Amino acid sequence: MTRDKIHFRILSVVIAFTILCLSTNIDINTCDFSINATALNSRSYVRYNYQTHQIDTTYNISDNSGTNAVSPEPDAPDSIIGSDDRYFDCSEAVVYLTNGGTGFIIGDHIIATAAHCVYDTVNGVFKNNYSINLYDNYNNVQDTIEPQRVHIPSAFKDMVDYKIAHNIQSGMVYDEGSYDYALIYVSDNLSSYPHAKLGIVLDEYIEDCGEVALSGFSASLPYPRPWNYPLEWQCRSEGYLIDDDGIYEPFNYDFDLYCLAYDLDTTSSNSGSPVFVEEIHYFGGTKYTYQTVIGINSRGYSDRNIGIRIVPPILCFYYQNSYLI
């Protein structure tokens, strides 16, 4: 079987910031995208050490963004919208969290995922006793590694802890959803694996309900499948963005500013999966696939699934973080 060459680059519908761009004094309102970002903002994070089982530091990262949003709780952990259109996929950049979640490699020691994959939203504690499986492009486990540290937004932890302490079942007011992203640091060198690239999607692409895809590990598999397919198998779903701007108008915030909605089919273990835009080109008879991650899958509803939108503060968190270890 001939392997397609997979590359990651900037797409016409997204803008991927580089470290150089992030480190310069650029007014992001003059850049060629519209996310209504305004004043300088600082977000707080906590770093958890898996060796000591303690939070070993809290820190702030300053970035250009507006205030974050709140959003309702999911009502469908397994969100197959209409017919199940998933199919089997193999991406070496996508990893499996053995506690039942997905992540993806974005640096030599960095894996991105959803915060609720690493922080228990029922008991208010960091999840321990899980490993990370790395795969080849035939979905064979190449290695199993251990997390060293994990970073999540302080707001996510604080909102979860508040809801638990006050026995709040509804997430309409005190919801952690818009902060549902995390960074896992591993001591192992992941340079031999492909790295997914983060980018910022244009508002116009959302308004036009642009095409997107998702790849991750599912709690259930599409049928029919060969008898020897393990449950730990990557599935891919393709679909379109949903322009949800204004759908939560009673809560008085711009949903599209911090979240993405889409009709991709997911199950619970797809939490933390990359949501990406893909282009395919042929040069000299060789197929090149270009992917840019624009969101992190977070939660599901009966008629849509929701991801955290990659925006400048999240790029700073992943690409310009001096508190990794």
Summarize the confidence of residues 299-314 as an average pLDDT.
85
CATH number of the domain residue 260 falls in: 2.40.10.10
The answer to whether residue 214 sits within a structural domain is yes
Q: How far is CA 89 from CA 110, 145, 158, 275, 322, in A?
A: 22, 22, 36, 14, 34
The answer to whether residue 111 sits within a structural domain is yes
pLDDT over 90 percentage in the chain: 36
Structural domains counted in the chain = 1
Q: Are the beta carbons of 183 and 321 closer than 8 angstroms? A: yes
Phi/psi for 161 (5° steps) reads: -65, -40
Phi/psi for 4 (5° steps) reads: -70, 140
pLDDT for 224: 52
- Determine which helix (DSSP H) or strand (DSSP E) holds 316, and give its type and residue range: helix 312-319
Q: Are strands 286-300 and 40-49 parallel, antiparallel or unpaired?
A: unpaired
The answer to whether residue 36 sits within a structural domain is no
The answer to whether residue 31 sits within a structural domain is no
pTM listed for this prediction:
0.78
Q: Can you spell out the DSSP letters for 10-55?
A: --TTEEPPPHHHHHS---GGGSS------SEEEEEEEEEETTTTEE
The answer to whether residue 89 sits within a structural domain is yes
Q: Are strands 5-7 and 286-300 parallel, antiparallel or unpaired?
A: parallel
Q: Residues 206-229: pLDDT tens digits?
A: 888 999 999 888 755 555 555 455
pLDDT over 70 percentage in the chain: 67
Angstrom distance (rounded) from CA 185 to CA 111: 7
Contact partners, residue 268, CB within 8 Å, separation at least 6: 77, 78, 100, 219, 300
Range of the domain at 189: 5-25+41-319
Peptide bond into 224 cis (omega under 30): yes
The answer to whether residue 30 sits within a structural domain is no
pLDDT for 53: 96
